[in-house]
């Protein structure tokens, strides 16, 4: 499940990854909340929509856009809060949550980490074989997040496994080294000691 968080418009999508880089769109929607509503009410509407999606579609993972940096602090805060309520809803259901920066998503989908929204939408449309481009852009962004995760997750899992294996090898080496040092110290006779 891909999530493009936002207070005014929050994109939600569901894709299914296949062999290789095959990805199929299953559902996409945009949750809208009125700007004149209290912040808590807006977050509640987003949370309820996300919970409906999580309970209906039962995704295996939720990919949320990580708020990286924005000039407008108020927009950044709203985006982070919307993403947070969705991440919380997923965590309560035991569904793993992955966060991807906008540049990671753009690079995965278009090959260019600074691609514009039109390029992302065009590539999402092409990758998913859609007849029409998903609208509004929040829908395309949510699909892009899901595609990005499908394509990056295997690599990230391999990297995590390699890091775990390297850490285990390092720990085993350090343990062996410590044992050798201890054995060497035990064999060394200190001055003035008797046999």
Check whether 4 is labelled as a binding-site residue: yes
Of the residues 29, 138, 163, 174, only one is catalytic, namely: 138
Pairing relationship of beta strands 97-100 and 23-32 according to DSSP bridges: unpaired
Of the residues 27, 65, 116, 141, only one is catalytic, namely: 65
27 is catalytic: no
36 is catalytic: no
51 is catalytic: no
State how far Cα 109 lies from the chain centre.
14
Check whether 116 is labelled as a binding-site residue: no
Of the residues 4, 36, 55, 104, only one is catalytic, namely: 4
Beta bridge partners of 10: 31
CB-CB contact of 146 with 15 (8 Å): yes
Helix (H, G, I), strand (E, B) or coil at 12: strand
d(CA 173, CA 192): 34
- State both tokens at 60: 């295996």
Annotated binding site: 4, 65, 138
Catalytic site residues? 4, 65, 138
Annotated binding site for Mg(2+): 4, 65, 138
């Amino acid at each position: 499940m891909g999530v493009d968080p936002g207070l005014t418009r929050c994109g939600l999508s569901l894709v299914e990854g296949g062999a290789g880089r095959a990805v199929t769109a299953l559902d996409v929607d945009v949750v809208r909340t009125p700007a004149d509503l209290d912040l808590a009410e807006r977050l509640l509407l987003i949370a309820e929509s996300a919970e409906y999606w999580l309970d209906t579609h039962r995704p295996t993972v939720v990919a949320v856009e990580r708020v990286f940096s924005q000039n407008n602090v108020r927009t950044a805060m709203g985006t982070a809060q919307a993403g947070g309520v969705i991440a919380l809803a997923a965590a309560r259901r035991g569904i793993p949550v992955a966060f991807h920066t906008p540049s990671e998503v753009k690079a995965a989908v278009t090959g260019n980490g600074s691609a514009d929204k039109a390029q992302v939408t065009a590539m999402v449309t092409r990758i998913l074989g859609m007849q029409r481009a998903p609208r509004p852009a929040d829908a395309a962004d949510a699909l892009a997040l899901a595609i990005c995760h499908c394509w990056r997750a295997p690599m990230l899992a391999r990297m995590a496994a390699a890091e775990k294996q390297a850490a285990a090898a390092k720990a085993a080496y350090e343990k062996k080294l410590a044992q050798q040092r201890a054995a060497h110290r035990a064999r060394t006779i200190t001055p003035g000691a008797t046999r």
